[in-house]
Structure 1
Amino acid sequence: MAGNSDFKAVKAAQWETRKTAYQATWKTDLMGACGADPLYCCFSVFCPWCASYDVRKKALYNDMSRYVCCNGDCPCSGRMKEQECPEFCLCMEAFWCFTQSVASTRWMLQDEMHIANTKCDNCLIGTMIFFQYLSCLCDIAACLSGSQEIAELANLVDLIAQFLWVSVCACMQTQHKVQIEERNKNPNVARPPANPYMAPAPQAIPPPGGYPQGYNAQGAPPNFQAAPPQGYPMGAPGAGYPQPPPQQGYPPQQGYPPQQGYPPQGYPPQQGYPPQGYPQQQQMH
């Protein structure tokens, strides 16, 4: 039960991140997906399982070594021996868990490119799900009551629900395919993952008297940079890396200054010094 609670907490954090942190938009919304690629939309209508398989594989950059069942969105993910035969496992997922397969691909693309649904997209998806539940309730009511009128109503609601399901899913898979093509053309749309589970950085505790004037809240001196700029080779500071300030009252000079009283002024000696014929230093015996 504890593991199930942790799984639910992780999923809740993911949903909250998608609602609040993602600002990008789909290349095309669900209303315009059919017009963006009508041939693929028709393909998704008549063979939705094949389309789900195709879109997921393209979302993984055709690298099936990265495949995990339902993209890690279900408790069984990673426990189905996917790495032994990922192609077969993806086929089974697309056929037996079609709804989850389409949803997992959608969430994968949203997490990769920080994409948020439009209000129209959410309205269409919500309407499709609502009629699926309504159809189920009408079938239960018709079964319990035995009424012919309720049974006919249930059949009508079921037809509406199936029409919405087929059309919205086809547009959704076409939307995914168009977005993947946009990602392949512009790799910069893929962004680092927004990790909602990362613990916050530890806060520094100030000393009783507070930090000296000019020090920041982490207790570091002004203009302090803890690490060299990104991409800078470790071990050797250079341009952009802060250097220690010179000591007060002593200007920075290249080399060591001559000691006081050391002749002649202007060391090292100028050309012509010492005078010609000046006796050399004699060695002591």
Structure 2
Amino acid sequence: MASQEYLNKMQVRQNYRNVWHTDLMRTIQADTPYCCFALWCAPCVSYLLRKRALYGDMTRYTCCAGYMPCSGRCGESRCPELCLATEVFLCFGNSVASTRFLLQDEFNIQTTQCDNCIIGFMFCLQQLACIFSIVACIVGSQEIQEASQLLSCLADMVYCTVCACMQTQHKVEMDKRDGKFGPQPMAVPPMQQMSRLDQPYPSTVGYPPPAYGQPPPQQGYPPAGYPPQQGYPPQQGYPPAGYPPQQGYPAPAYPASGYPPPGYQK
């Protein structure tokens, strides 16, 4: 029953939409001193972070934050500080993971693909080091024994580094929760209704009526008065002054009777 409930929680956690304030790759840049502190004093940091995640109220403490079968069966209600100290020293990995799950469930934080790859690589490297150690014990080869020791040392280094980054990630997230980064940023505004380029503007909006004799402007472009033209718009009155020319135009009217006109010679 407990395992099924745990699997249901894991499935729900996959649908979370929020993300960590900083991912595992950037925790060293986010808070370098605390990352070093978490590397050299990992159990102490795990104790402080769990207590802070519970808002300092140790009456809410449960072993492994309620995510393990032993949770609630270790006498936490009588001496929660001692139980937490025992947890972080004897079950350090579980204490870090439990604090992580506690924060994820509280703030609906998902684990990114990058974080999953880093954590998965850490676990795979530990399993590989364990397999090499077993093979070295069975075969008894000196070369395999040395290779297993090197691999175990590498796995321990990766484990300690990833745990330090994870704890720094938890600390930065709780700094954000407690308002140490200032007020929360405003929500992203809804998408604005953008006007399309192929959508014509109304011809009467923002344009004065065209003067007499002036061709109507095109739909929405160009604006009224652009480009400027010399001598435009025409003067008042129609036809314009000086038009039509007086020399020989228009031709004198022909007489109504008779054709060809007088004086015409064949």
TM-score, normalised with respect to structure 1? 0.63
Trace 1:1-285 onto structure 2 (pairs within 5 A).
Answer: 6-20=1-15, 22-185=16-179
CA distance in 2: counterparts of 1:162 and 1:25, whole angstroms: 28
CA distance in 2, matches of 1:140, 1:76: 29
* Structure-1 separation of matches of 2:183 and 2:92: 28
2: CA distance between counterparts of 1:188 and 1:15? 28
In percent, how many aligned pairs have the same letter? 49
1:179-229 Cα shifts (integer Å, max 9, x gaps): 01111118999xxxxxxxxxxxxxxxxxxxxxxxxxxxxxxxxxxxxxxxx
Q: CA deviation at 1:130?
A: 0.5
- Give deviations 1:54-74, integer Å, cap 9, x for gaps: 110110001101000101111
Alpha-carbon distance in 2 for matches of 1:94, 1:106: 14
Give the partner amino acid of 1:106: R
Equivalent residue of 2:17, what SS? Answer: coil
Deviation at 1:41, TM superposition (A): 0.5
Cα separation, 1, equivalents of 2:184 and 2:86: 33
The size of the alignment, in residue pairs, is 183
CA–CA distance in 2 between the matches of 1:165 and 1:41? 14
State the shift of 1:163 in Å: 1.1
Three-state SS of the structure 2 residue aligned to 1:82 is: coil
SS in 1 for 2:70: coil
CA distance in 1, matches of 2:58, 2:33: 26
Residue 159 of structure 1 deviates from its aligned partner by 1.4
Deviation track 1:75-127 (CA, whole Å, cap 9, x = no partner) reads: 11111110111111100000001010000000000000000011110010000
Gap regions ≥5 residues in structure 1: 1-5, 190-285
Map of 1:240 onto structure 2 = none
| Structure 1 stretches of 4+ moved >3 Å | 186-189
Whole-angstrom distance in 1 between the partners of 2:154 and 2:126 = 9
Return the letter of the residue paired with 1:154. S
Structure 1 residues 188 and 85 mapped into 2: Cα distance closer, same or farther (>3 Å)?
Answer: farther
RMSD over equivalenced CA pairs, Å: 1.5
3-state DSSP of counterpart to 1:42:
helix
How far apart, in 2, do the equivalents of 1:109 and 1:33 lie? 16
TM-score of the pair, normalised by structure 2: 0.67
Stretches of structure 2 that go unaligned for 5 or more consecutive residues are: 186-266
Which is greater in Rg?
2
